[in-house]
A and B are shown apart, each in its own frame.
Chain A
Amino acid sequence: MSGTDNQSETLLERLALDGLIARVRDLQVSSDSLTWSRFCGSLALVLVVLLFLSGAFMAFYYSPSPGAAYDSVDYAQFSIPFGDVVRGIHHYSWNLLLVVMGLHLGRALLLGAYKAPRQFVWVSGLVIMLVVPAFIFTGDLLPWDQKGYWSTQVRNSIMGSVPVVGDFQVRMLQGGPRLGIVALTRYYVLHTIFLPGLFLFLIAGHFHFLGHRGLSSPVFGRETARRKVPLVPNIVNRWLVLFIVVAVVLGLVAWYWPAPLGDPADPTDSTYVPKPEWWVLFLNQLVGIFTGPLTVVGTVIIPGGLVGLMMALPFIDRSPERHPARRKKTMLVAAVISLLVLGLSVMGYIEHHLTVLE
Chain B
Amino acid sequence: MSQGGVFPKGNKASESEVNSDRRTFIKTAALTGVAAVVIGVPLASYVIAPSLKKGTGKWIDFGPVEDLEPGGMEMLSYEFMVKDGWLVLPQRGFVWAKTEDGGKLRVFSSTCTHLACNVIWREEEEVFVCPCHSGRFDASGRNIAGPPTKPLVVLEHRIEDGNLKVFLTV
Contact = CB atoms under 8 A, between A and B. Distances in A.
Contacts, number: 98
Interface string A158-196: 100100000010011011111011100100000000000
Given A174-B51, A288-B147, A266 B92 contact: yes
A153 B117 contact: yes
Contact of B84 (A168, A176, A295): A176
Interface of A: 16, 19, 65-67, 150, 153-154, 156-158, 161, 168, 171-172, 174-178, 180-182, 185, 266-271, 273-274, 287-288, 291-293, 295, 357
A16 to B, nearest CB: 7
Contacts of B131: 270-271, 273, 357
Given A171-B51, A176-B50, A268 B147 contact: no
B89 A66 contact: yes
Contacts of A67: 89
Nearest to B54: A177
Contacts of B170: 178
A168 B53 CA distance: 11
21 contacts: A16-B3, A67-B89, A172-B48, A175-B47, A175-B85, A176-B51, A176-B53, A176-B55, A176-B85, A177-B55, A180-B85, A180-B89, A182-B50, A268-B77, A268-B79, A270-B75, A270-B118, A270-B119, A274-B132, A287-B133, A291-B148
A19 B94 contact: no
B16 to A, nearest CB: 28
Contacts of B91: 178, 267
A188 to B, nearest CB: 13
Interface string B81-106: 01011110101111000000000000
B50 A154 contact: no
A146 to B, nearest CB: 12
B5 to A, nearest CB: 8
A269 B117 CA distance: 10
Contacts of B89: 66-67, 180-181
B135 to A, nearest CB: 9
B51 A172 contact: yes
B133 A177 contact: no
A274 B53 CA distance: 28
B157 to A, nearest CB: 19
Given A267-B91, A271-B131, A288-B147, 14 more contacts: A65-B87, A161-B115, A168-B51, A175-B47, A178-B55, A178-B82, A181-B84, A182-B85, A273-B131, A273-B132, A274-B132, A291-B114, A291-B149, A357-B129
Nearest to B48: A172
Contact of B115 (A154, A176, A293): A154
A293 B168 CA distance: 27
Interface residues of B, number: 41
B109 interface: no
A174 B116 CA distance: 15
A123 B3 CA distance: 34
Interface string B114-147: 1111111000000001011110000000000011
B106 to A, nearest CB: 19
A67 B7 CA distance: 53
Contacts of A178: 55, 82, 84, 91, 170
Interface centre among A19, A177, A292, by most B CB within 10 Å?
Answer: A177
A182 B75 CA distance: 29
B118 to A, nearest CB: 4
Interface centre among A16, A19, A171, A270, by most B CB within 10 Å?
Answer: A270
Contact of A271 (B54, B120, B132, B147): B120
Nearest to A284: B133
B141 to A, nearest CB: 16
A233 B44 CA distance: 46
Nearest to A174: B51
Contact of A268 (B5, B93, B134): B93
